[in-house]
Structure formats: structure tokens, C-alpha cells
Structure 1
């Protein structure tokens, strides 16, 4: 039996790479059902200031094709409580590169008070969509 019934994680998943695969695999190892929120193009522009290379529809299809993923939903905002109200997960998974940030310190406190686990998974060092984008542009 897995530690959690329903888990949730989010991301842009632009230029899908092994780091994305690692977090999805590790999250699925801990939960029976894994729901993944894929950020809309508009949301990415709003908080990252740049448009993804791959369209939202294609990123949703790519994530949906990963065997560790049970359900894919659009992430239209970064409000994790509204996601919880809709999806009722008992654990949220996030890369440990977010640990200690004001956003996740606050969320960790709020989630723990609500009985929701915030689980930090190892970030895959040396790979990111930003690094891939820069490599492609330099060629």
C-alpha cells in the first residue's frame, strides 16, 4: 500500500526532460493516484515572463502520455488551495529546489494544519527547460 491515496504536482513541463520524468516517477511511487497540473501558457507568461516553446495542449498530451500520471488538469493559477478544493489530494509533491522559499514555507504551514502533506522530491540537478532552451539557441 502506498503512503498517500491521491497526490498532486504541477509544472510547466516545457521541453519535457528527464527531470520532469524523475519527479513524476517519484511522486507516483508514493501515491495511488497522481494528478498533474500543467500550467497554461497565460499563467507561464504571467509568472515567468516568457511563453513556453511547446503549446499548452501539446504539453498536456505529453504529460498525459507518461505512465506514472493518472490524470492531467490545466493549472490556471498558482493557488494550491483552489486546486485542493477541486481535486482533494492528500499530498502535494514539489521539487526540493522550492524548499525554504516564502511561498512554500507558508503553504507547508497551511497544508500541515489542514492535514495535507507537502512532500519535497529531489530536484534533478543540471537539467531544466531553461538550460535546454539556452543550448538550442546557442547552436
Structure 2
């Protein structure tokens, strides 16, 4: 059985998130999804969350491609592997070549974990949705 792991914030869930989960599920038998806790997101994007963790977890858990949903309590993909022992890690292609991610990839490579970089769905992201809502509302969204 091939276990796939991916993770994210999944704030303002949209079709790009759905496309990524569907593609990730297609790479194995079991898909585990880590949903970033509010505390983790606040560390690198302070004040950006719209939907609280518990609701984001409930939304992602309800998607048919997702077999197991877990809390992502830090951004360290190797620590996630130590806990979950997945075979495939799926991340967005924006992670490719980032120095901090290269360290995780080297460790995962030594464990035989395949890292798959997926392209983002063009023309949709939580940031784009946030920008549209802010323009229409003429103010900052949270």
C-alpha cells in the first residue's frame, strides 16, 4: 500500500485545493492530509487566516479523496514523515529549489520517499480570493 502525504493551510477552500487533493490521491492508495493549525500559520503569515483551524479540518476531512486528516503542528516535512511514515510527499511546485525545503528533501530521499511537485491551478488561490474580497469590500479582509 502506497501512502501519500500532503499538507497546507486550506484557508478559503477552492478548486485549486480540490485539484491538488485529487492529484495527490491518484499517486497512491491512502492519502493523509496535514492541515496547518492556526498557530503554525500565524508564525509565517500573521493575521492572514479567515477560516479557523477546526473548520478547515472539517472541510478537508469531508473531501472524498482524503482518507486521513491530521494536524500540521509545524512545517517540517521530515518530522511529519517520522510520525506518519508516508511513501510519497506531494507539495506545490513553488517549493522546488528552496534551500529550507532542500534539506527536507535530502532526508526524505535517504528514506526512499518520493517527492512530487504539483503545479498550482492557474487563476485561483486563497490570496487572489482575499484580494478580490478586499477590493469589493473596500477594506482589509481580517
Instruction: Give the TM bin, normalised by the shorter chain.
Output: over 0.9
Measure the CA separation in 2 of the matches of 1:124 and 1:102: 24
The equivalent residue for 2:83 is 86
Which 5+ residue runs of structure 1 have no aligned equivalent?
none
Cα deviations by residue, 1:77-117 (Å, 9 ceiling, x for unpaired): 01112211111101110011221211222222221111111
Distance (Å, rounded) in 1 between the aligned partners of 2:3 and 2:73: 20
Could you list the runs of 4 or more consecutive aligned residues of structure 1 that deviate by over 6 angstroms after TM superposition? none
What does residue 28 of structure 1 align with? 25
Distance 1:107 1:21 in 2: 25
- Pick from 103, 106, 109 the counterpart of residue 109 of structure 1: 106
TM-score, reference length from structure 1: 0.93
1:53 and 2:50 correspond:
yes
Looking at structure 2, the residues matched to 89 and 48 of structure 1 have their Cα atoms a distance apart, in angstroms, of 27
Extract unaligned runs of 5+ from structure 2. 137-142
5 Å matches for 1:7-22?
7-22=4-19
When the two structures are superposed, what TM-score results if normalisation uses the length of structure 2? 0.91
